[in-house]
């Protein structure tokens, strides 16, 4: 069953630095998604703390632990502490330069956008995805350089996440129906 949904997408500082805003938007439009809101934002810490709340720390830490174990690597850190480090790096990175925030609309939009962008880690994101095509970053490289992973875009992971994230980045009057 299909349903019309909305989702949030951010073109992160590395995507902006590589001048990929138009390319990224075009990729979504090519797949039939409708742009219903867009703006360029220099995100401040208050906004970023709402988008990447401390409550995400354990989930991020557990996700990282699972990724390490899947690759046969040892993970000895406390997942919550590690997750907080990741959140701080994400906030610093996303706040380091302007980002393009947009809301896309269409049938099964959350899943469709996630498919178009690929997995979080560009080197394993999937052939032809935005992240794999425009970045060659990896968790290992980011960890060794003590920074956030550079993967071009953020996209909401679930419908519920999308609803919450859209409210963080956009006022109702900034969302268009057409």
What three-state secondary structure class fits 20?
Answer: coil
> In terms of Cα–Cα distance, which of 34, 51, 13, 79 is closest to 175?
34
From 6, 149, 154, 166, active-site residue: 154
Determine whether 51 is an active site residue.
no
C-beta separation of 149 from 139 below 8 A: yes
Q: How far apart are CA 167 and CA 175, in angstroms?
A: 10
Radius of gyration of the chain (CA): 16
What three-state secondary structure class fits 177?
Answer: coil
C-beta separation of 93 from 145 below 8 A: no
Q: How far apart are CA 158 and CA 32, in angstroms?
A: 19
> In terms of Cα–Cα distance, which of 125, 153, 133, 111 is closest to 15?
153
Q: Which residues are catalytic?
A: 154
């Amino acid at each position: 069953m299909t349903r019309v949904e909305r989702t949030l997408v951010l073109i992160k500082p590395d995507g902006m630095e590589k001048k990929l805003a138009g390319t990224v938007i075009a990729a979504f439009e090519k797949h039939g998604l409708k742009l219903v809101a867009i703006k360029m934002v220099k995100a401040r810490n208050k906004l970023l703390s709402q988008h990447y709340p401390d409550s995400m720390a354990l989930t991020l830490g557990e996700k990282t632990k699972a990724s390490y174990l899947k690759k046969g690597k040892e993970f000895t850190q406390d997942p919550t502490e590690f997750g907080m480090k990741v959140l701080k790096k994400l906030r610093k990175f996303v706040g380091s330069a302007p980002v393009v925030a947009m809301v896309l609309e269409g049938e099964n939009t959350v899943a469709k956008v996630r498919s178009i962008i690929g997995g979080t880690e560009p080197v394993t994101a999937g052939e032809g995805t935005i992240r794999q095509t425009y970045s060659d970053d990896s968790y290992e490289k980011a960890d060794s350089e003590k920074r956030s992973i550079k993967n071009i875009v953020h996209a909401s992971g679930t419908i519920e996440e999308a609803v919450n994230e859209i409210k963080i980045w956009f006022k109702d009057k900034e969302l268009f129906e057409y």
